[in-house]
Amino acid sequence: MSSQTFTTQTRRKLLRSATAAVAGSLCAPLMSATANDRPKASHHMRPSLYVTTEKIEGLRSLEEVRESIRGGHGKRLWQEMIRRADADLKEEPLHGGSRNYDIVNKAGGRVMRHALACLISQDDRYRDAAVAQIEAMFDSRRWPNWKDENHPAYYICCLRHGQLCGDLGLAYDWLYPFLSNSQRQMIVEGIDRYGVQPYFQCLQEEQRHLVNRWNNITIVVRGGLGIAGMAMGDDHPQSQLLIDLATEHMEKYRKVYGPEGSYNESVGYAVSTMDVVRYFEALRSWSAVLGRANPHENILGTSPYPEFCRWLMYFTLPPGREACLGNGPAERQINLYYAPAIASAARDGVIQWYYLNNLHPTEQTQLMRRYSHELLWYDPTILPVSPEGRMPHGHAFRANNMCVSSRTDWNPQTTPCVVYGKGGDGHSPHNHHDAGQVCIDGHGQRLIVDFGWGGYDYGSYGANVRGHNVLMFDGEDMIKDAQCRAKLLDAEFDDRRGGYWSFDTTALYDGVLKVVRTVVHLNPGVVAVLDEAAIPRLREVSLRWHTISRAEPDGQGRFLVQGREGAHLASRVLRIDPGPIAVAHSQKGEGRNLRHRCEAVSRTQKCQILSVFCVFAPEVKPMSWELEGSIASIDTPEGRFEVQVNNKTLTVTNCEDEQHRWDVDVWGGVYSS
């Protein structure tokens, strides 16, 4: 391949001919070639992905990396990577098993940390360990194939092909100077047989839609194969095609992010952005080494990537946990190993602060982190800058899933209250039937919760409307249709007071006239949620609040939730308009799958249900919500708070300071005849 830059016309021509190419002679496995026919080793500089042997302005050289690990955060990253690499030396190579995420992630991480450890230290023990693990991954007795057994059996190519090709590609690039010709040949042939050919076969056949969607599967598979193409270079005859197929899609993938950085899948799956970062960082350094691009031009410093990091900040809960909205784990620590690359590209101190203040060393996050990447991406010249006073404490994102968040402050370890939720639709990737969902954290503890997971099985509790903190009608699920979307009616945030938002979720339900939810957060920790509904006939209307611990409502709808470290949430559910309502505790499942909920039920055609909450710190005795006339009130260390719904206004007030209040317009349509 010529080293000159590919023009857009050339790239498009290559892409148009891709299907024909993979169907033709180029698609024959590399292993079928004779020794004389096999491609010769590339003459371009290696390593060329994320780090270079010779200094190129704008890229990190190997000597600069060695200098960076002498002190500070770079030293800590190196020490942890080497600690894990040394522990690996005592272990046998990992076997494929089910080829699910966990084993693939462990095997790929092991290979990369050994490869980088060898490159930096020039210790052959790490090379030998990396090669041993790679050989195991190409051994059909230990790794029969790379298909995840949890994926449908008919899949030709899946997430694991992309993961492993990307990981092995980076390892090949970093190990290249230390490998023999036969070892290089073994790795290229193995990547071709186990990864490249299944990928091309997938593109040929009816399964090509699996790698053409705008979701995480596409970027993992295309990105991983593209990185492998860069790493193999002239050692593989289709490397440029792999790169072009990836680059075309990765550039278009930017459109899945909203104008303010919101991700198009659930918060739990937003970590997939790491695959975008991995690819573009590899493409930048590889292109610069070949003289095809200016290394100072970094796409990661442009929209939507810095904006994405800020979006994710709103859905990172102290201390460093992901907000669970939609499919994903309920209590996972945030994984930001890719954030230093974006902080460096954008020269953004707030993103650097976000990364450095969310490094929580749980075993779970340690297994997911890529110290090999962090080490090469972390830029100590970017000084961390607190978001306090620079980013509002709350924001409503109108694009994609319409996620919303309001917090008392930006303290990364603990804050009195975080209220978060979403609008959503009937069937977006990795999202559930949870339009209007609201959850509450207090003092770093989950209180009103989403239990996560559930996948796309809307019959399961985790994905169905039954498993969320929203209205239900006769227990029926929401409509399964991505065109049925919630509407964000209004939102406002103020760092001194808090924030509010209002969603119309009518379109998500069958057989209703109107469903509106209004949420108010008044600092530090008072939350009011008003649900209003009108329906054409008598139906059972119910509202579940899922709690982190067992909470027993009294006869007046009051219940107390206790967090796992002593924070409390004083709660009460009231019927504001005329009509009865009953509130009771129930539960589902057992053991780790136990789900506690307080459910309010009424049979009616129209209703206003007001839920009021107040967070109390662990050292403070919680008080209860009292009702006098139409006013719900509670005493707190910050004063007496009152909540009132009056015709078409929801008012939340701190009685110690009349200016510390929200007066929010609500639908109020239930008052009409």
Q: What is the pLDDT of residue 41?
A: 40
Per-residue confidence band for 14, with pLDDT thresholds at 50, 70 and 90: very low
- For residue 6, pLDDT over 60 is answered with no
Question: For residues 221 and 668, what is the distance between their CA atoms, to the nearest angstrom?
Answer: 50
Q: What is the pLDDT of residue 7?
A: 38
Is residue 440 helix, strand or coil? strand
Mean pLDDT of 151-167: 93
DSSP 357-394: TT----HHHHHH--HHHHHHH--TTS-----TTTS-SE
Whether 81 contacts 371, CB under 8 Å: yes
Q: Report the percent of the chain where pLDDT is more than 90.
A: 86
- For residue 321, pLDDT over 70 is answered with yes
Per-residue confidence band for 204, with pLDDT thresholds at 50, 70 and 90: confident
Q: Domain spanning 8-377: which superfamily?
A: Chondroitin AC/alginate lyase (1.50.10.100)
Task: Identify which of 264, 221, 237 has the alpha carbon closest to the alpha carbon of residue 21.
Answer: 237
CA distances from 63 to 52, 60, 67, 311 (A): 9, 8, 6, 35
- Residue with tokens 């789900």, as numbered in its chain: 595
Mean pLDDT of 235-248: 96
Q: What is the pLDDT of residue 583?
A: 98
Per-residue confidence band for 38, with pLDDT thresholds at 50, 70 and 90: very low
- Amino acid sitting at position 600: A
Instruction: Look up residue 442 and give its two tokens.
Output: 């207090």
Quick one: how far is CA 49 from the chain centroid? 25
What kind and span of H or E run contains 194? none
Question: Are 8-377 and 394-615 the same fold in CATH?
Answer: no
Per-residue confidence band for 361, with pLDDT thresholds at 50, 70 and 90: low
| Strand partners of residue 501 | 491, 519
Question: For residues 155 and 149, what is the distance between their CA atoms, to the nearest angstrom?
Answer: 10
Q: Does the domain at residues 394-615 carry the CATH identifier 3.40.1360.10? A: no
Instruction: Look up residue 522 and give its two tokens.
Output: 């008044």
Q: What is the pLDDT of residue 210?
A: 77
Task: List CB contacts of 666: < 8 A, sequence separation 6 or more.
Answer: 502, 516, 518, 530, 532, 645, 648, 649, 650
The stretches of 192-338 forming alpha helices (DSSP H) are 197-204, 216-232, 239-253, 273-289, 305-314
Q: What is the pLDDT of residue 11?
A: 39
Domain boundaries, the chain: 8-377, 394-615
Is residue 161 helix, strand or coil? helix
Bigger pLDDT: 590 vs 35: 590
- Amino acid sitting at position 504: D
Q: What is the pLDDT of residue 316?
A: 98
Mean pLDDT of 332-350: 97
Whether 311 contacts 325, CB under 8 Å: no
Instruction: Look up residue 241 and give its two tokens.
Output: 């095609």
Mean pLDDT of 393-407: 98
Q: What is the pLDDT of residue 2?
A: 34
Task: List CB contacts of 306: < 8 A, sequence separation 6 or more.
Answer: 261, 342, 346, 348, 351
- Helical axes 124-137 vs 101-121, angle rounded to 10°: 150
Q: What is the pLDDT of residue 35?
A: 38
**Cα maximum dimension of the chain:** 91
Question: For residues 379 and 68, what is the distance between their CA atoms, to the nearest angstrom?
Answer: 9
Per-residue confidence band for 326, with pLDDT thresholds at 50, 70 and 90: very high
Q: Report the percent of the chain where pLDDT is more than 70.
A: 92
Per-residue confidence band for 153, with pLDDT thresholds at 50, 70 and 90: confident
- For residue 455, pLDDT over 90 is answered with no
Q: What is the pLDDT of residue 209?
A: 78
- For residue 4, pLDDT over 70 is answered with no
Nearest-5° angle of CA 661, CA 665, CA 669?
A: 140
Q: What is the pLDDT of residue 362?
A: 66
pLDDT digits (tens, 9 = 90+) for 544-580: 999 999 999 999 999 999 999 999 999 999 999 999 9
Mean pLDDT of 409-421: 98
Q: What is the pLDDT of residue 245?
A: 95
Per-residue confidence band for 43, with pLDDT thresholds at 50, 70 and 90: low
- As a whole number, the mean pLDDT across the chain is 92
